[in-house]
Structure 1
Amino acid sequence: MTRKRPTTKTSAPPILDPRQGDIEDDASSTKRRSMLSLLGSLLVEISLPKLIFAWILLMVVPGLLLGVAPLVLTSWLGLVADKITSAFIGIWSALLFIGVIAFGWYGWRSLFRMVEKNFWALNSIVVEPGYAAAREILRHLVEKLFAKHANEATRAKLRAVSAAVAGVIVSALALLVLWWIWPSAHLFGQASEVRSWRDLVPVALANSITLIAGYFAVAALIWGLADATMAEPRSLKTFHTGKTKGRKWRIVHLSDIHLVAERYGFRVESGRSGARGNDRVRRLFDQLEAIDAKAPLDTILITGDMTDAGISTEWVEFFDILAHHPSLAARVLIIPGNHDLNIIDRANPARMDLPTSPDRRLRQIRTLSAMNVVQGPRVRTVDLDSDGLGATLAESLAPHVDEIKRFADVARPLFSTTLQDLWAKSFPMVVPPDQDDGLGIILLNSNADTHFSFTNALGMVSAAQVHGIEIARQTYPKACWIIALHHHVIEYPWAAKKLSERIGTALINGNWFIRSLKPLVGRSVLMHGHRHIDWIGECAGLPIVSAPSPVMEATNDMPTAFYIHTLAIGDGGRLQLLPPERIVVEGEAG
C-alpha cells in the first residue's frame, strides 16, 4: 500500500531574510555608523604590537636614517678637510685621501637617495596630511559658523582666509617643536663626537625632528599662502552649445562600481544603505550596449574602485561582466582606486598591513594584471629617463610575468624592489591621440601608500607622474587630453555636512597638482570619482568632472545614474565640453 505524502501549506517566509543582510553588514559602513563609532571600534580591535612595529618601520627607522645623514656628511667633510690641511701627505695618506674623495663622489648619490626617500616618506605620512587636516578642520568650522547659507563667492573668500590662517597656525606649532628639540639636535657635528650607539639614536631622532619641523614651519606658510591665492573652484553651469568643427568623442564616465564577491553582498562603506550584489552594474552594461547600438561610444572610462576590497574574487566578477560585453570591453579603460589597493580587511577597519606584509603588493599586482587584460596593448607607459613615451603596458609587463606569478603564489621574493618599481613606472599610462591634434587620455594612480584601512582614502599625485604628463604634452603639443585620476583634486564649492567628508578624501597635494597643469588649460579636462556624487565645475581654468557611483548612494529599489560626456575640439585647438547626457539606472521592483 502506497503511503500518501502529507500535504502542507506553503512555508512561511523566514523571519530574517538573509538576502536583506543585517547589522553585521554595517560593521565598516560610514553611512550607517558615525566616524566616532568607527574610531571606538578601531581602538578596541587594534593590535598594539602591530601598531608599534608599524610605527617603528614607517616613522622611527626613516627618522633615524634621516637624522644620521647630516652626521655622515659632516664627518666626511671633516675628514676631507683634515687631509687637505695636513702638512705631510705621504703615499698612503694620499691614497687614503683619494679613496675618501672617491667614496664621497660615488656614495653621495646613494646618501642623497636615502635622505630623499626617507624625507618624503615622513612627509607623506605626517607633514602634508597634518597641514591638510588642519586646513580642512578650520574651513569646516568657519563654514559652520559664518557661511552656512553663503553663496559660492563668499564661501570662496572664507576658504582662502582659512587656508592662510591654517598655514600660520601650523607653522607656529612647527616652530614651537623646533625650539623644544633644538638643544638635543646635533646637525653639524661629526659622528665620532657621539660617545656611543646608545647616544646616537636620540641624537639621530632629534636631528630628524629638527629637519622635519624646520621644513614644516616654512612649507606650511608657503602652502597656506598658495592655497589662499589659488583660484577657488566653481560649479560649471554653462556648456558649449554652438556648432562644433571636426570630430566629437562620446565618453562614458563610470566610477566606484565597487563589485562584491557575493551574490547578495553589501559594500564596505554603504552597508545596507547601498545596493546589494552586482546586478545593477550588469544592467548598466546592458544599457550601454543599447546606447552604443544607437550612437556609438568612443571610450568607457572607469575612474577607480572597480572592486570593493581588491580581492581576487571581486576581480573575477569584473571580468565576468566584461566578458558578456566584448565589444564594450575593447573600449574600457580603468585606473586604480583606493578600494582596489588600500582596503586591508573588509570587516575590520582596525586591521593593519605591516610594511613587511606582501598583501599590499598582492593588491597592486592584481590591479596591474587587470589593467593589462583590459587595456595592456592600448596604453603606453612613460620613459622618464628618455623623456618620451615608452613601451605599451603589455610589453613592459612581459619580462616580469614569471616573477609576478611567483609572488602571487608564494609571496617571494618578499624584499625585492622589482615589482614595486614596476608598479611606480607603470604610471602615468597614456592613450595617444589618433592624430597629432586629436584627443588623448592620461591615466594616473592617485592613491597614497597606506597600511591602515581607516586611512585608506588618502590621495596624492607624485611628481614623477606630473613629469609624465608634461612628457605626453610635449610629445603631442597640439593634442587635447582627458586626465583621469581617482581622487577629487579639490573640495567642492559647497558646505560639507560632516567633517568626515573633507578629511582624508581629496588629494593632499591637489592645489599643487592643479597649478602644475597650467600649460594644459583650455586643452584638458580632469575626470575623477571617489566622492560618489556628480559635480561638474572648473578651477583655475581646468574643467573638472566628478562621476557618481551607481551603487553606493542608493538601495536596490532606488534609481541611480551615470553620465555620457561629449567632447569636441574647437577653434584654436581648445577642448569643448558639450552638455552631458544623464543616463538613469532604474531600481529593482520589490
Structure 2
Amino acid sequence: MQPIYDPRLGDVESDASSPKKHSLLALAGSLLVEVSLPKLALAFLLLIGFPALLLGAAPIAASIWLGEIFGKVMVFQAEIWSVLVLAALVAAALFSSRRLFRLAEHNFWSLNALAVQPLYAACREALRQLAERKIAPGTGRFAAMRAAAALLAGLVICGVALLVLAWVWPATLFVADIAILDAPRRFVGAAFANSAALVSAYVAVAALAWGVADATMAQPRDLESFDPPQQGEEWRVVHLSDIHVVGERYGFRIESGRHGPRGNERLRQVFEMLEALHAREPLYAILITGDVTDAGLSTEWAEFFDMLERHPALAPLIAFAPGNHDLNIVDRGNPARLDLPTSPVKRLRKLRVLSAMDAIQGARARLVDRAGGGLSKSLSVALAPHLGEIGSFMDAGRPMFSRELSELWTKAFPLALAPDREDGLGIVLLNSNADTHFSFTNALGMISLEQARAIDSVMAHYPRAHWIVGLHHHLVEYPRPAKALSERIGTALINGAWFVRRMQSLAGRVVVMHGHRHIDWFGECGGLRIVSAPSPVMTRPDGGPPHFYVHRLAVGADRRLKLLAPERIELPLAGAA
C-alpha cells in the first residue's frame, strides 16, 4: 500500500510551531490571531499590573502608617501607661514594616525580571545585530563594536527611563495621610505613578551601570586551542543537550517540525554509542544541559525513562538540568497559548522535572546549605517529606496555591554532585529558565541572585575542587553574526553578562557547559571556558551529520582545570529528513 503522501514524513501542520520554518514575525502574526485576549489581559494584571500597584502603594502606606503612629504617640505621651502602648506600637511597626518592605522588594524584582532587564538585553543585541553586518567577526573591531553597542544600549535605555520619570513625576504621591483612602481613583493613580517613577529611576541608573560594565568586560572569543595532555587523572564527560524526547513514534519536534528524525530513533542510537564508549573506557559523567523533553509532557518523560531502562549502566552517570522546553512550553502546537500565574499546569511541569531528577540523580545530587554554606541533604531526602503532597497535586492539580510545593522548586537549585575527594571534579546544575507563562516567550533565561550566591558558597566549601557548571542557556552571544535578530533576543539569558562577571573569579576552577542554541562552540570570556553542545537529534543547518562530544578534563601543575581536545562522535544520517 502506497499513500499519495507518506504520513510518516509529516506535513505542513507538523511545522506549525517551528522557528526554523517560520520567522519570528510570522509566528507573532499567528499569535495575534489565536491568542486569548481575556487570558492575556488577566495575565497582564497579575504579572505586571498588580505588582506595580503594590510597589507604588508601599510608600503611601508607609507614610500613612508613620503618620498614624506619630499621632498615637502624641495622644498617649501624657499618660502613665503610654510607654507600654508605645512599645507595642513600635513592635507592631517593626514587624509590619519588614513585611511591607519584603512585599515591595519582591514586586520590584518581579517587574525587573519581566520587563527591565529584557528591554536592555533586547536593545543591546539589536544594536549589535545592526553593526555586525559591516564588521568581520574575530577582529579587534568586532570586539570593540560589541563593547560600544553595550554602552550605547545603556545610554539609550537610561535616556528613555529619564523621560518616563519626568513624565510621571507630577502625578506621584509618596507622602499622604489616611484621607487619601476616601479617593480610591486618586490613590490607585498615584500608586501606579509611584511605581513607574521608582522603576524608571532604577532603570536610568541600572541600565547605565550595565552598559558600562558590559562594555568594559572582556568580550567572548573563540577558543584558539585546547590544553595539551596533562599528567595525572583525566575525566571523560559526555555533554549532550536538547535531545527533545517526543512521546509518539512519529512525533514531530517543535524546533525542527518534520525535519530531522521522527520519534526518538536517533537518541536510541546515541545511548547505544554511549554504552559502547563506556564499556571501552569508563565515562565519568553524562551531562544533559536541558531540553530533555520537547514540551515537558508526561508521555515524553515516560519515553525517556523507557530508553534509560534499556541502558542500566548509563543511568548512574547521567546528570541533567532543566531546559525551557521542559518547563515553559504551554502548548507544543500553538505558541499563542499562555498559562495564567494561578494555573496549576506550570507547577505540574516543574514537579515532573523534580520527579525525573529525583529518579535519575536524586540520591547523588545535593542541595546547597544556604545558611551554613556547603552542601546539605540529597534531593531525594529533601523531597521525601513532600511525596504525598506531590502525588496528590500531580493526580488532581490541587492545592493550586501550595506554598510548600512552590518553595520546593526554588530551593532545589543549584543542585551539586560533589567531587569524590577534596581535589576532585564536581558538577553544579542550575535552573536558568525565566519564569514565563507564555509559549511565545518560553526561551528566555535568567539566573537568580540566590543561585549565584549558592555557587559561591559551594566553591568556598570545596576550595581545592574543580567544577563543571551546567545550565541550559548560553551565557554570552558567540563572536559571530547571527542570521536573525530573533536568535539573539528570543533565546537570551537576559542577565548572562552579569553572571559571567560573577563567575570570572572562578575561571581556573570552572568550565561552563550549556545547550539551547543547538550548535557547538568552544570559547572563553575573561578566562572563563564556555562550551556549547549541539543537539544530537536535530538536522544540522549545513546538512552534515549530527554529533556530540566526549570532553576530557584534567588538572594541570598550576592547579587550574584544563580542557583537553574532545572526541567528536558523529551519528549516521539514516533517518534524517
Q: Establish whether TM, by shorter chain, passes 0.5.
A: yes
For residue 53 of structure 2, give the secondary structure of its aligned residue in structure 1.
helix
Name the counterpart of 2:495.
509
For residue 151 of structure 2, give the secondary structure of its aligned residue in structure 1.
helix
Shift of 1:340: 0.1
Change in CA separation of 1:92 and 1:64 when aligned onto 2, cut-off 3 Å: farther
Matched, 1:449 2:435: yes
Match 1:184 to one of 171, 192, 199:
171
**C-alpha separation between the residues in 2 aligned to 1:379 and 1:45?**
42
The structure with more radius of gyration: 1
Shift of 1:141: 1.0
Shift of 1:92: 6.0
Matched, 1:218 2:220: no
Match 1:206 to one of 187, 190, 193:
193
TM-score, with structure 2 as normaliser: 0.97
Name the counterpart of 1:464.
450
For residue 572 of structure 1, give the secondary structure of its aligned residue in structure 2.
coil
Matching residue's letter, 2:189: P
Shift of 1:201: 1.2
Match 1:174 to one of 151, 161, 165:
161
**C-alpha separation between the residues in 1 aligned to 2:81 and 2:247?**
70
Q: Is the 8 A contact 2:289 2:514 kept in 1?
A: yes
**C-alpha separation between the residues in 1 aligned to 2:521 and 2:112?**
31
Q: Deviations over 1:241-298 (max 9, x none)?
A: 24x1221100000000001111111101111233221000001110111111111111
Q: Deviations over 1:83-126 (max 9, x none)?
A: 55669432465444333211111122211211111111111111
Matching residue's letter, 2:494: I
Matched, 1:134 2:120: no
Q: Runs (4+) of structure 1 moved beyond 6 Å? A: none
**C-alpha separation between the residues in 1 aligned to 2:39 and 2:11?**
31
Q: Is the 8 A contact 1:275 1:552 kept in 2?
A: yes
For residue 565 of structure 2, give the secondary structure of its aligned residue in structure 1.
coil
Q: Is the 8 A contact 1:255 1:303 kept in 2?
A: yes
Shift of 1:75: 2.2
Matching residue's letter, 1:63: A
Shift of 1:128: 0.5
Name the counterpart of 1:287.
273
For residue 356 of structure 2, give the secondary structure of its aligned residue in structure 1.
helix
Matched, 1:152 2:139: yes
**C-alpha separation between the residues in 1 aligned to 2:361 and 2:551?**
21
For residue 573 of structure 1, give the secondary structure of its aligned residue in structure 2.
coil
Matched, 1:363 2:349: yes
TM-score, with structure 1 as normaliser: 0.95
Name the counterpart of 2:111.
122
For residue 579 of structure 1, give the secondary structure of its aligned residue in structure 2.
strand
**C-alpha separation between the residues in 1 aligned to 2:327 and 2:188?**
34
Q: Is the 8 A contact 1:437 1:573 kept in 2?
A: no
Match 2:65 to one of 35, 58, 76:
76
Q: Deviations over 1:428-475 (max 9, x none)?
A: 111111111111110100001000000001101111111111111111
Shift of 1:150: 4.5
Q: Is the 8 A contact 1:152 1:494 kept in 2?
A: no
Name the counterpart of 2:95.
106
Structure 2 unaligned residues grouped into runs of 5+: none
For residue 55 of structure 2, give the secondary structure of its aligned residue in structure 1.
helix
Name the counterpart of 1:39.
28
Change in CA separation of 1:199 and 1:95 when aligned onto 2, cut-off 3 Å: farther
Matched, 1:487 2:473: yes
**C-alpha separation between the residues in 1 aligned to 2:177 and 2:147?**
45
Q: Is the 8 A contact 2:138 2:479 kept in 1?
A: no
For residue 61 of structure 1, give the secondary structure of its aligned residue in structure 2.
helix
Matched, 1:411 2:397: yes
Matching residue's letter, 1:489: L
**Alignment length, in residue pairs?**
576
For residue 467 of structure 2, give the secondary structure of its aligned residue in structure 1.
strand
For residue 132 of structure 2, give the secondary structure of its aligned residue in structure 1.
helix
Name the counterpart of 1:238.
225
**C-alpha separation between the residues in 1 aligned to 2:565 and 2:425?**
18
Match 1:383 to one of 351, 360, 369:
369
Q: Deviations over 1:156-194 (max 9, x none)?
A: 110110110111111110111111101111013344345
Name the counterpart of 2:555.
569
